[in-house]
């Protein structure tokens, strides 16, 4: 993971910044990601591109600043589904609950322990024997990894390999069998305006389902504003901006994506995974989704997974 994120300010308050952040929920401060280029300011507002991973467990207080949200361990591992049937456009009535019922068994919560603390992300099951697709920033620096199925079953997992530039990693759940593998779609066939559903563990709330549309395609992350504030996040195990920093062309969606969704599924109305949720854009002063989220196209993810498996 190096999970793209925000850091604590000098005054201990929550101050989002521009740039690629890797939000974990560590229990102590973490290194800072140096933004890849100078900030863009439009209309006097600074924005931040935030990876959608979540801080684990408790509210961070004192000099570290306040966490966006705090949950106890039971909340973080909750398996109660929040899926609801929703009409997501004026012309089409999509039964989101049916999509969720199909895909939820194939999406896991990923809990990671690092030297900086703990973090929460999401993952997509690739095989019945426990191969899991997630973001590289979710498991960056992992000392231990636990995956939790939608029914609450837990497995220890190991990182088989990762590509930090593509922000893709593959995990192997130890001793797993009979898991429900996701159906992978074809991201080359996507269209702007197409309905999609996002599934993951924002804030550690497992089995969370949101819906929306594809807002844009081929969105280059380098075109998204970066920032100059170096004092922001209690949540971030981060990495210096180098040639290994995430760099990919993303799917943009208005389906709500928040910290903890990183590595989760973006699916079409047929329940096929067409993207891996990875980041969100947040204006200065905002700590949650504003309807601008990003996902790695599944065709790109398939290519990286194949490379990792063949190394």
What is the residue extent of each domain of the chain? 107-180
Tokens for 214, please give them: 């594809």
Clarify whether 10 is annotated catalytic.
no
Q: Is the backbone of residue 106 left (phi > 0), alpha (psi -120 to 50) or beta?
A: alpha
Q: Is 219 strand, coil or helix?
A: strand
Q: Which of 21, 64, 106, 167 is catalytic?
A: 167
Q: Mean pLDDT for each consecutive 10-residue tract of the chain (311 residues)?
A: 38 38 39 44 52 45 27 37 38 79 97 92 97 96 96 97 95 97 97 97 94 95 50 30 66 94 97 95 72 95 95 80
Paired with 170 in beta bridges are 133, 161
Half-sphere exposure of 201 (CA within 13 A, CB side): 36
Active-site residue identified among 64, 245, 262, 289: 262
The topology (CATH level 3) of 107-180 is Thrombin, subunit H (2.40.10)
Catalytic one of 137, 140, 162, 289: 137
Report the alpha-carbon angle 221-225-226, nearest 5.
95
Find out whether 60 and 266 touch, Cβ atoms under 8 Å.
no
* CA gyration radius, the chain: 17
247 is catalytic: no
* CA distance linking residue 281 with residue 303, whole number of Å: 26
Question: Is residue 262 among the annotated active site residues?
Answer: yes
CB 261 within 8 A of CB 275: no
């Amino acid at each position: 993971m190096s999970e793209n994120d925000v850091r604590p300010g000098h005054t201990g308050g929550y101050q989002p910044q521009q740039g690629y952040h890797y939000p974990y929920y560590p229990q102590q401060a973490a290194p800072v990601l140096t933004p890849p280029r100078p900030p863009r300011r439009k209309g006097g507002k600074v924005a931040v591109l935030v990876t959608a991973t979540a801080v684990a467990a408790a509210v961070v207080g004192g000099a570290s600043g306040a966490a966006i949200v705090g949950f106890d361990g039971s909340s973080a591992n909750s398996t109660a589904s929040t899926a609801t049937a929703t009409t997501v456009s004026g012309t089409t009535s999509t039964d989101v609950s049916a999509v969720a019922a199909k895909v939820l068994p194939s999406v896991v919560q990923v809990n990671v322990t690092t030297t900086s603390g703990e973090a929460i992300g999401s993952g997509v099951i690739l095989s019945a024997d426990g191969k899991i697709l997630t973001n590289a920033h979710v498991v960056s620096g992992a000392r231990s990894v636990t995956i939790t199925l939608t029914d609450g079953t837990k497995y220890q997992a190991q990182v088989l390999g990762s590509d930090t530039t593509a922000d893709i990693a593959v995990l192997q759940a130890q001793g797993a069998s009979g898991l429900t593998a996701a159906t992978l779609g074809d991201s080359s066939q996507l269209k702007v305006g197409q309905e999609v559903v996002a599934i993951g563990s924002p804030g550690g709330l497992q089995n969370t389902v949101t819906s929306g549309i594809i807002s844009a395609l081929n969105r280059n992350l380098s075109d998204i504003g970066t920032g100059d504030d170096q004092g922001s996040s209690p949540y971030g195990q981060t990495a210096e901006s180098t040639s290994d920093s995430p760099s990919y062309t993303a799917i943009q969606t208005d389906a709500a994506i928040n910290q903890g969704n990183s590595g989760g599924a973006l699916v079409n109305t047929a329940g096929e995974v067409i993207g891996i949720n990875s980041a969100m854009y947040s204006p200065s002063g905002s700590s949650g989704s504003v309807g601008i989220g990003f996902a790695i196209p599944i065709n790109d993810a398939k290519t990286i997974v194949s490379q990792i498996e063949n190394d």
